[in-house]
Structure 1
Amino acid sequence: MKKFVLFMLGLSIFITGCGSDKDKPEEKLTKEVIVSQGSKPKSLDPNMYNEIPALTITEQIFNTLLRVDENGNIVPELAESYEYVTPTELVIKLKQGIKFHNGDTLTAKDVVFSINRMLSKPASKIMIDAISKVEAVDDNTVKITLSKPSSPLLFGLAHPLTAILNEKDTVAKNDTIATAPVGTGPYKFIEWGSGEKIELVAFDEYFEGRPKIDSLVYRAITENSSRLAALETGEIDIAYNMDAIDGDIVEKNKDLHLISQPTTSTEYITFNTTVAPFDNKDFRKAVNYALNKQSMSDSIYMGKAKPANSIINPNVFGYTDTVEGYPYNVEKAKEYLEKSGVTDRSFTLFVNDNPTRVQLAQIIQANLKDIGIDMKIEILEWGAYLQRSAQGEHQALLGGWVSGTSDADIVLYPLLHSASHGGAGNRSFYTNKEFDSIVDKARLVSSPEERKELFVKAQEILQEDSPLGILLYKNENIGVNNKVKGFKFDPTTMHNLKDLDVENK
């Protein structure tokens, strides 16, 4: 009997061990996409900083009341509809049943709270500063009162800086949501990881439908070569901001493909016009004429960039090619340098720790040396770069500006209007009353033709005053693993990844 029991037990184990795979429950594969960019964000508070490393991520976590579609039209997002009852009264009806990641339902109270909070933060305030009052009519209706008509307001309400927050969560966290954001977006925040690795997961109750992937991870890899290597080995699936030269390597790899598209951004030098030597207009012009933009495009961007004539990108409403800009002209540069009367021909350029920007700074340094200007380069970590320049500690600053709404107002007002000095955007601390007046007027009128005419006048003033050293309009180069499907390029570089999918092989 004992032998029989042992035999049957052994037979049972044998049968179980040899059972068909069909008898096993099917294991569900987790679909994960890992995205890498060159800098870690300073904060995931969407209203705090107009910085792309953060906004590319908050775009996935939050929603705005409105959005700009592929054709440049304003359409509802969290809003069901919107209507100007009068030129200074905007009524917004909200979609019903939208959930926050903490389970709360979006109401007009959250919108009122969010807009009032935006008005207290310099970066987001610029987007909506015409708002004088916001109130909840009922749970799903918001009335916004303006101090004056504002043609760019709807674009401002579509910018990621004006994302809608959950009032209860934000108040509970004492307004410190930088590393623990709660939104209504397609992906839910899980882990900050000191900002080097930020983990998100699909939000099951997303109002436009659950994303197809389960996990979205952002990794900051500063070195472009390291980001390329990670893409090639499969450590990451999408690499943003790739060197143009690395794009050729991506194109030759059968497992990868390259997206290289024009953006709404402009690369430029900010001159702090309140300190020497950039308080001298002729010195600023000398620097502009000394910049060999075509050489920068050819040597760094492999032709995937073109010399810029204006701070406004050609893909942005309000751009004009009637403003000549500053072509490379060494003789004119020397002429304006002498005319300036500046004797201390040296300055320091702040650059963030992006290798491509550092290379660009080195070419600028060589260009200026050719006309007798000694430029030193100071490389800063991204957070220090933002903070120190906001406080005006720089003489000059190398950077880029993305038009997040594809409208010239989002360039001219935050970047150059005197109301925006410092952290709000105007790090050149440029002040020109005539320029301010023109930009202000363009914010009041609704006629596209009249707005365009005013934007052209503003660019003509900038051509004369030269508060910036205008450099390039560049493509964004993105390497993507072929298993990733559904990536949609956005010229603002703040790509929404809700439609991503992974083809598991």
Structure 2
Amino acid sequence: MKKLVLILTSVFLFILGGCNKENKNTEKTLTISTGAKPKSLDPSMNNEIPSLQIAKQIFNTLFTLDNNGMIQPELAESYTYISPKELEITIKKGIKFHNGEELTVDDVVFSINRMLEKPATKIMLEAIESCTAIGSNKIKITLKESSSPLLYTLSYPLTSILNKKDTISKKDNISINPMGTGPFKLIDWGDGEKIQLEAHEEYFQGKANVDKLIFRGITENTSRLAALETGELDIATIAPIDVDLVNNNKELYAVSYSTTSTEFLGVNNEKYPFNNIDFRKAIHHAINKQSIVDAVYMGMASPAKSIVNPTVFGSNQSVKGYEYSLEKAKSYLEKSGIKDIKIGLISNDNPVRLQAAQIIQANLKDIGIDVVIETLEWGTYLQYTSQGKHDMFIGGWVSGTSDSDIVLYPLLHSTYHGGAGNKSFYTNKEYDSYVELGRTETDLNKRKEAYYKAQEILDVETPIIPLYYKNDNLGLSKKIKNFKSEANTIHSYKNIEKGE
């Protein structure tokens, strides 16, 4: 009898093991690498794309943008402007956080008030005077002044809604242990090199099509490409030079799409010699933007005249810009009175940016300026540029809301020097007045006019040097279906399907 029991038990365990193995094999895991390791998963802490790309999966915002760029409710049920300075928002019921707790108006009020204290979000929401609860499912936002970009700002992952109780219990330190209402929940941060998420079973918009998401911080383009080719990655950012290579691989395909981003050369306007406008103009004329577009981006970019991408509301593409002209560059350099100068150029450890930096180095050598390039890891790069330790740096800025406000205000307003966004340390009160008007004016034509004038000032003073508007390039396994690219490069992975 004992032998029979043992035999039956063994058979049962064998069958159970087989079932578990089968379940494991049918589990869908999506592995992604977009390059840089994220600095933090606290959505309100850092306006930087590697972090927000993951935060997008973990959290939700009050609003979202549809395919036509129009505002639609997400966590919000509806909204009403009682007056230009009073906004009431009704919150959807029955939405669950990853720990099973239901989203409440207290969570929303807590999140917004917390945003008003954090540097990255304070910039974008400074028009808010207060946020209070009205009953059990409605909040009221009172503004200091009318704010045209407000709803668009509240659709950006930077303004994600947190769980009040969880955030307080973690003493506000949720950078590597966040919890939201999003389609995926964090399982393991590790050291940030391999971040693991799994599908949120009770997601209010339906469970994701894949069971797990893994984000890997592979900084080298060649290493990402190799991992994509061997199947270790399903989706990866690829260098422009590798697009044809990926398309020629029968197991892969490439996607190249326009973005709302602008790559630029940031210069420290508070440091010698960049406090000299003629020196800045000399640098601008000396840079051959087209050669960078051709050599580095293989034509998948276009030279930039304005810091605001042409796909973004309020972009002024009628500014004169700075043609590549060694003659003009040398003339402005002579006019500046600056001679025999050596300056530093910081790049993060993105090989494509490093190649661009090397071309700029060669361009400036042609007019007698020596440039020393320093390559820094992403976190150190952000720290150095925030603290103003740089002469020049290669940077990029994405308009996540497709509105000029998110570019012109944080990137160049005089009150946001340093980590808040203005790493060029530029100050111009007339410029400030125009971007401030763009925030408060409700007439779209007047808003556009204000932003146009702000960009005309930038064109004259060149405190920041727009380089090019680049495409984003991704390589994907042919097992991946339903991928939808986002112009702000912050993609949703909820609806992606992965075949065998």
Residue 137 (structure 2) pairs with residue 134 (structure 1): no
Give RMSD over aligned pairs.
Answer: 2.1
Match of 1:401, SS state, is strand
1:34 — aligned with what? 31
Match of 1:451, SS state, is helix
User: For 2:184 and 2:114, how far apart are their aligned partners in 1?
Assistant: 23
Deviations 1:412-450 (A, max 9, x none): 000011121111100011110100001111111111111
2:140 — aligned with what? 143
User: For 2:20 and 2:281, how far apart are their aligned partners in 1?
Assistant: 71
2:182 — aligned with what? 185
User: For 1:295 and 1:157, how far apart are their aligned partners in 2?
Assistant: 39
Residue 367 (structure 2) pairs with residue 366 (structure 1): no
Question: 446, 449, 462: which one pairs with 1:450?
Answer: 446
Residue 152 (structure 2) pairs with residue 124 (structure 1): no
Q: Is this contact kept in 1: 2:340–2:368, CA < 8 A?
A: no
Deviations 1:18-73 (A, max 9, x none): x99xx979923100000012110111110001111100000000111111221111
Match of 1:490, SS state, is coil
Structure 2: gaps spanning 5 or more residues: none
1:285: how far off? 0.7
1:302 — aligned with what? 298
1:501 — aligned with what? 497
User: For 2:413 and 2:20, how far apart are their aligned partners in 1?
Assistant: 63
Q: Is this contact kept in 2: 1:127–1:162, CA < 8 A?
A: no
Structure 1: gaps spanning 5 or more residues: none
Match of 1:193, SS state, is coil
Query: Aligned partner of 2:243: which letter?
Result: G
1:344: how far off? 4.5
1:113 — aligned with what? 110
1:100 — aligned with what? 97
Higher-Rg member (1/2): 1
2:166 — aligned with what? 169
- Give the total of aligned pairs: 495
Question: 226, 229, 241: which one pairs with 2:226?
Answer: 229
Q: Is this contact kept in 2: 1:237–1:481, CA < 8 A?
A: yes
Question: Percent identity over the alignment?
Answer: 57
Q: Is this contact kept in 1: 2:263–2:470, CA < 8 A?
A: yes
User: For 1:321 and 1:205, how far apart are their aligned partners in 2?
Assistant: 46
User: For 1:493 and 1:321, how far apart are their aligned partners in 2?
Assistant: 22
User: For 1:50 and 1:322, how far apart are their aligned partners in 2?
Assistant: 29
Query: Aligned partner of 2:179: which letter?
Result: V
Q: Is this contact kept in 1: 2:266–2:392, CA < 8 A?
A: yes
Match runs of 1:240-319 below 5 Å = 240=237, 242-319=238-315
Match of 1:194, SS state, is coil
Query: Aligned partner of 1:68: which letter?
Result: L
1:87 — aligned with what? 84
1:217: how far off? 0.3
User: For 2:104 and 2:415, how far apart are their aligned partners in 1?
Assistant: 32
User: For 1:316 and 1:225, how far apart are their aligned partners in 2?
Assistant: 32
Q: Is this contact kept in 2: 1:418–1:430, CA < 8 A?
A: yes
1:196: how far off? 0.2
User: For 2:340 and 2:173, how far apart are their aligned partners in 1?
Assistant: 45
1:498: how far off? 1.1
Q: Is this contact kept in 2: 1:62–1:182, CA < 8 A?
A: yes
User: For 2:20 and 2:483, how far apart are their aligned partners in 1?
Assistant: 32
Cα pair distance change 1:24/1:215, threshold 3 Å? closer
Query: Aligned partner of 1:110: which letter?
Result: D
Query: Aligned partner of 1:316: which letter?
Result: V
1:204 — aligned with what? 201
2:459 — aligned with what? 463
1:206: how far off? 0.6
